Structure 1
Amino acid sequence: MTAMTVTAAAAVLVRLLVGWVFLLAVVGKLRSAARFRANLTESMGVSAGAGAVLTPVVISAEAALAFMLLGDMQARAFAMPAALALLMAFTAFVGYKYVTADSVRCSCFGEADRPLSAYDLLRNALLIGAIAGWLYWPAAAVRWTPVQWTLAAAVALLLAAGLVRLHEVIVRFRNARAAQPLPVGEAVAAVMGKMLSDGAPVMLPGVEQAVALLFLSSRCPSCRGKLPEIARLLAPATAAGLKIHLVSAEPAWRLRRFLPDELRRVTVVVSARRYARLNPMMFAPYYLFIDASGALQAAGLIGDDDWLSLNAQMDEVAAA
């Protein structure tokens, strides 16, 4: 197989891949059009009227591009340049929202109502690069049999399905390779961090005092709902001799937007590597209960039985 033939085959696969991605986006939006429209308004700041108009416009545009790309109708003259422009504009918009907003949702492929992630932006960047490469290199005609075209379409569809679910694939892979949670009963390795409020250095978990380390994420929808509950625990915890620290590796500016004043004062900012030592599974909202000797007594998701037991104890302290 010559280099020209390989290039031509790759060009066909890229065109079909982009076409399938747009078609899968159409199918996903049609299955959850109300969710997509709601996310335009609630998450991306589009007015309700504009969202009602944009939803069918976006679906129609993506459907037209999908059929043109899959059918090779004006792919080089119109469809691929239009797909590139659409992807670049959308990625720039949601990328800006991703950086500046606490949580952004899209449901662009009908996925569950999870926040937009860096892996979604990576997927778009890969597609943009593939389209740009396709437009840069000259196209060569291919003469394939129907069986070869069917095989190429199937391969492109599989690749498109993988790209559409890139976030889920990477998360599952990372979870499969992730370290085990810290073992209960063993000492928690100390890490250094800085207080969010004044930058003072602090050692976690500390010594000679029981401590609860809490792990929240500004991009975790359920974490925001836990903030009032955690703030309410601060005073009785101090009275009971329990120190509470929020631990985060997020930028300070984002944490200041996310946290109320009273929680900023107990937040410790650590590096990503040190954060992973304390919370290897990257759970949120998550807690570690560590005794005065530095041994882990309990760990779990905020809201489980051990957490509720702590709440009950703090209520008793507050009422005393």
Structure 2
Amino acid sequence: MSNEFIGIILIVLTASAILNFVLILTLFKIIRKYVNLTPPLLNIDEGQELPNIQAYYLSSKKPEILTSQKQATALVFLMSNCPKCQSKIAELESVLSVAPVAGVKLFFITHERTRKIEQFLGKSALKAVTLKVTKKAYLQLNPSQASPFYIFVDHQAQLQTAGMIGDENWQGFIEQINDIKTDADISLAS
């Protein structure tokens, strides 16, 4: 091999290494930018008051202000295109039947089109507690658009906790609801 040929190979290898380095740096910048754009689950901290959001009942179009409940409230976020959400409807209907006895108000919050939500819910009792909000208001409550997602709010409209339906806090809530349901069933049987 001649010295010229070896020199050309070294130049090509050096150029390839420099190009590779530039591409890796560009990839890191893109990844870092994407990570920074991931919205948080919530824009408010525990103990802070929820924003004053206007909503409308899906069935009656009657207006409702989420922060005016003056009792513990569970806000549930499901999306019609979420397979896991469909499987949560029966559980939420069970909660809905006991929630008033437990002193909890339950709302299903959505920004999706009415027809889409009605198809998603079918004949579910959740239709009666479905509130529509604007997309902007929805993103104030659920910036990452997580689903199936919940927010628990106290009687002063302050955030108590939030998370994915099925997590530890949600399971604790379901246990309390089931205990109340069992107590109510025992009382009716007596």
Shorter-chain TM-score: what band?
A: 0.7 to 0.9
- CA offsets 1:26-46 (integer angstroms, 9 cap, x no match): xxxxxxxxxxxxxxxxxxxxx
Q: Give the equivalent residue in structure 1 for 2:174.
A: 311
Q: Give the equivalent residue in structure 2 for 1:17.
A: none
Verify the 8 A CA contact 1:210 1:291 in the aligned structure 2. Answer: yes
Cα distance in structure 2, aligned partners of 1:291 and 1:235: 20
Q: Give the equivalent residue in structure 2 for 1:251.
A: 113
Which segments of 5 or more consecutive residues in structure 2 lack a partner in the other structure? 1-29, 184-190
Give the AA of the match of 2:149: Y
Which residue, 156, 166, 173 being the options, matches 1:293?
A: 156
Verify the 8 A CA contact 2:139 2:145 in the aligned structure 1. Answer: yes
Q: Give the equivalent residue in structure 1 for 2:48.
A: 186
Which segments of 5 or more consecutive residues in structure 1 lack a partner in the other structure? 1-168
Specify the SS of the correspondent of 2:93. Answer: helix
What's the offset of the Cα at 1:176? 2.3
Q: Give the equivalent residue in structure 1 for 2:71.
A: 209
Specify the SS of the correspondent of 1:190. Answer: coil
Greater RCO (Cα-Cα under 8 Å, separation 6 or more): 2
Specify the SS of the correspondent of 1:219. Answer: coil
Specify the SS of the correspondent of 1:315. Answer: helix
- CA offsets 1:13-55 (integer angstroms, 9 cap, x no match): xxxxxxxxxxxxxxxxxxxxxxxxxxxxxxxxxxxxxxxxxxx
Q: Which segments of structure 1 move beyond 4 Å, counting only runs of 4 or more?
A: none
1:263-302 equivalence runs, <5 A:
263-302=126-165
What's the offset of the Cα at 1:208? 1.1
Q: Give the equivalent residue in structure 1 for 2:96.
A: 234
Specify the SS of the correspondent of 1:318. Answer: helix
TM superposition score normalised by structure 2: 0.75
What's the offset of the Cα at 1:174? 8.0
What's the offset of the Cα at 1:271? 0.4
Q: Residue 175 and residue 212 in structure 1: after superposition, are their counterparts in 2 closer, same or farther (change >3 A)?
A: farther
* Aligned-pair Cα RMSD in Å: 2.4
Verify the 8 A CA contact 1:248 1:275 in the aligned structure 2. Answer: yes
Verify the 8 A CA contact 1:206 1:294 in the aligned structure 2. Answer: yes
Identity of aligned residues (%): 31
Structure with greater proportional strand content: 2
Q: Give the equivalent residue in structure 2 for 1:176.
A: 37
TM superposition score normalised by structure 1: 0.45
Cα distance in structure 1, aligned partners of 2:40 and 2:167: 22
Q: Give the equivalent residue in structure 2 for 1:7.
A: none
Give the AA of the match of 1:277: Q
Aligned residues: 155
Verify the 8 A CA contact 2:76 2:109 in the aligned structure 1. Answer: yes
Verify the 8 A CA contact 2:93 2:124 in the aligned structure 1. Answer: no
What's the offset of the Cα at 1:207? 3.1
Q: Residue 313 and residue 179 in structure 1: after superposition, are their counterparts in 2 closer, same or farther (change >3 A)?
A: closer
Verify the 8 A CA contact 1:196 1:252 in the aligned structure 2. Answer: yes
Cα distance in structure 1, aligned partners of 2:168 and 2:38: 28
Structure with greater proportional helix content: 1
What's the offset of the Cα at 1:291? 0.2
Cα distance in structure 2, aligned partners of 1:251 and 1:278: 18
Cα distance in structure 2, aligned partners of 1:173 and 1:265: 39
Cα distance in structure 1, aligned partners of 2:127 and 2:176: 24
Verify the 8 A CA contact 1:175 1:281 in the aligned structure 2. Answer: no
Verify the 8 A CA contact 1:205 1:213 in the aligned structure 2. Answer: no
What's the offset of the Cα at 1:190? 1.4
